[in-house]
């Protein structure tokens, strides 16, 4: 039995922000209506502390952002714009702009009917009250399958709250009013995790009552006390929702597993969705990193500021646990021990920590010299990230500017792990800045954009007359958190 939808190709979010930029998060879920017609819901959560509030006519203060939504259907030969919307979104009124606690994130949701195919959702947001603020853009690539006449799941939606609807509005579906979470499955100091999922054609899989179970897993293993089960009667469309208290979960990557089964276990289906908890109230276990390491004096010649910088540059090759541990380090000696332990864990045969460290600093010097842009250091750019993460490419093809084509580069790797013939395509869509953004790769886990060749034309770049910024690598918000 195939899941109704395939997989999310790529998410580029949590942009690298400077003062004046709007910080927002983009998430997306796929559903189908009672008539078996598929649709998407796009959730946008705007950080109210990153936008300008002005005095409103009706009293109090209010923020306003311009939102541009564009949905593109992509094939190997063509790119077709299937949906466009431009509009203003207003925040709730607040009585005082000096109290940051009043500036709660405000959430927007767009529901768009869609047919099967491969898509790229583009959302641009700009502060209407700050002329100096640059527009920021998020991309979300996904596949949509034709709705099947057999059992399947919707995407799993994380929610702030869910209750029975008293009246119909944009946030209601199937009799419920649902406030989406909209933070890219990252729960920062949150007490509760809420979820919502739909089952389609359960009556085709189960002859009688069945059970729906939600469990939180860590490392593939279920956690005690984080399990929820409900008995359900099969129908063409079933809803399963609930919430967990996550206030005591330490900072870590987890999975929420949805499992449906009958009592005899003769019919069962399941899937998982990953989420991340960042909980400053529960301290991580730092012993393996900050215990005194023999040889850690290799880093004693650096200042604490230099070591903080070097730890940042490791983000492209760090695990999420390591990033969180690094954020908690406050003492110079602990940072020395962390750096030594980081490379010690990556030692190969006949290697030393000093050799690996010298290799990293040499690569760092190279990318900062070759790939530095007008906006950031070389290691922060897309080309710098790929170089530090995957190494020296087997071949580089450079294409200069032409009258109908922007400059771009194609990096080729003969083999990366189990995958061969890898390419990365970088586009200079801001001529003269040397910012070259990644627009396509066939590497697993990287941005896959089947319509990338259409972006090479000056007229096909998104809003060419609008300045905008994008994330230089996935997980950029974690880098911000490491800042002292």
pLDDT in tens, 420-436: 899 999 998 877 788 89
Q: Is the pLDDT of residue 212 over 90?
A: yes
Query: Which of left, alpha, beta for 135 (phi over 0: left; psi -120 to 50: alpha)?
Result: beta
Can you name the CATH fold of 1-148? Immunoglobulin-like (2.60.40)
Neighbours of 118 (CB within 10 A): 19
Calpha distance 175→153 (Å, rounded): 18
Cα 377 from Cα 387, distance rounded (Å): 13
Query: Which of 80-89, 246-255, 284-293, 390-399 has the lowest average pLDDT?
Result: 284-293
Q: Check pLDDT > 50 for residue 371.
A: yes
C-alpha–C-alpha distance, residues 30 and 48, integer Å: 27
Q: What percent of the chain has pLDDT over 90?
A: 43
Strands (E) across 145-286 are located at: 152-153, 157-164, 172-173, 176-180, 186-188, 192-200, 210-218, 221-232, 237-245, 252-261, 268-278
pLDDT score recorded for residue 78: 84
For the residues 145-169, what does the mean pLDDT come to?
Answer: 90
User: At residue 176, does pLDDT exceed 70?
Assistant: yes
pLDDT of residue 458: 53
Handedness of CA 173, 178, 183, 186 (dihedral sign): negative
Residue from 214, 216, 193, 220 nearest 261 by CA: 214
Kind of pairing, strands 395-399 and 408-416? antiparallel
Question: Own/partner pairs for 51-57, CB < 8 Å, 24+ apart?
Answer: 51/22, 51/91, 51/127, 51/129, 51/130, 52/127, 52/129, 52/130, 52/133, 53/91, 53/94, 53/97, 53/103, 53/129, 54/129, 56/93
Min mean pLDDT across 339-353, 417-431, 457-471 is at 457-471
Q: Around Cβ 473, how many Cβ atoms within 10 Å?
A: 22
Say if residue 384's pLDDT is above 80. Answer: yes
What integer is the mean pLDDT of 240-259? 91
Is domain 149-282 classified as CATH 3.30.70.20?
no
Higher pLDDT, 132 or 165: 165
Rg (C-alpha) for the chain, rounded Å, is: 24
pLDDT for residue 66 is more than 90:
yes
pLDDT band of 105, cuts 50, 70, 90: confident
Looking at residues 196-216, what average pLDDT do you find? 94
Q: What is the mean pLDDT of residues 139-146?
A: 85
Q: What pLDDT, on a 0 to 100 scale, did the predictor assign at position 100?
A: 67
Q: What is the mean pLDDT of residues 258-282?
A: 89
Q: Which two tokens stand for residue 102?
A: 């009043």
Distance CA 75, CA 78 (A): 5
Mean pLDDT of 249-253: 83
Residue from 230, 240, 170 nearest 200 by CA: 240
Q: Is the pLDDT of residue 465 over 60?
A: no
Contact between 426 and 373 under an 8 Å Cβ cutoff? The reply is no
Distances (CA, A) of 293 to 320, 329, 356: 22, 15, 16
pLDDT at 479: 36
Average pLDDT over residues 313-321: 83
Tokens of 7: 């997989």
- Claim: this prediction has a pTM higher than 0.85: no
What distance separates the 2 farthest-apart alpha carbons in the chain?
Answer: 72
């Amino acid at each position: 039995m195939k899941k109704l939808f395939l997989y999310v190709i790529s998410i580029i979010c949590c942009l690298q922000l400077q003062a004046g930029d709007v910080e927002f998060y983009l998430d997306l879920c796929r559903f189908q209506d009672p008539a078996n017609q598929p649709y998407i819901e796009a959730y946008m959560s705007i950080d109210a502390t990153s936008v300008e509030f002005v005095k409103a006519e009706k009293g109090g203060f209010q923020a306003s952002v311009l939102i541009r939504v564009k949905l593109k259907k992509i094939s190997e030969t063509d790119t077709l714009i299937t949906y466009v919307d431009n509009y203003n979104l207003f925040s709730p009124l607040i009585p005082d702009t000096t109290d940051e606690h009043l500036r709660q994130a405000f959430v927007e949701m767009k529901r768009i009917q869609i047919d099967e195919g491969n898509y790229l959702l583009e959302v641009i947001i700009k502060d209407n009250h700050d002329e100096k603020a640059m527009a920021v853009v998020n991309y979300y690539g996904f596949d949509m399958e034709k709705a099947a006449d057999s059992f399947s799941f919707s995407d799993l939606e994380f929610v702030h709250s869910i209750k029975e609807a008293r009246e119909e509005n944009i946030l209601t579906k199937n009799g419920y009013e649902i406030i989406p979470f909209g933070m890219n499955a990252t729960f920062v100091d949150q007490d509760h995790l809420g979820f919502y999922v739909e089952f389609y054609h359960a009556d085709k899989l189960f002859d009688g009552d069945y059970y729906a179970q939600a469990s939180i897993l860590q490392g593939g293993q279920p956690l005690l006390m984080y399990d929820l089960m409900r008995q359900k009667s099969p129908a063409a469309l079933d809803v399963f929702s609930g919430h967990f208290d996550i206030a005591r979960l330490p900072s870590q990557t987890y999975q929420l597993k949805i499992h449906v089964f009958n009592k005899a276990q003769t019919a069962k289906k399941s899937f998982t969705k990953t989420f991340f908890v960042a909980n400053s109230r529960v301290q991580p276990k730092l012993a393996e990193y900050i215990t005194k390491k023999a040889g850690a004096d290799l880093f004693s010649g650096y200042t604490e500021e230099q070591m903080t910088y070097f730890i940042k540059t490791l983000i492209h090759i760090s695990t999420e646990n390591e990033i969180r541990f690094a954020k908690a380090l406050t003492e110079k000696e602990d940072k020395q021990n962390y750096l030594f332990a980081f490379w010690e864990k990556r030692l190969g045969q006949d290697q030393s920590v000093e050799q690996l460290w010298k290799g990293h600093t040499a690569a760092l010097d190279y990318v900062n010299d070759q790939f530095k842009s007008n906006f950031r250091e070389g290691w922060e750019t897309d080309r710098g990230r790929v170089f530090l993460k995957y190494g020296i490419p087997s071949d580089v093809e450079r294409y200069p500017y032409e009258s109908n084509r922007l400059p771009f580069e194609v990096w080729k790797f003969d083999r990366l792990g189990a995958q061969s013939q890898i390419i990365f395509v970088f586009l200079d869509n801001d001529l003269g800045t040397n910012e070259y953004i990644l627009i396509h790769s066939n590497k697993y886990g990287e941005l896959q954009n089947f319509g990338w060749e259409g972006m090479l034309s000056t007229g096909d770049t998104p809003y060419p007359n609008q300045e905008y910024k994008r994330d230089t690598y996935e997980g950029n918000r974690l880098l911000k958190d490491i800042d002292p």
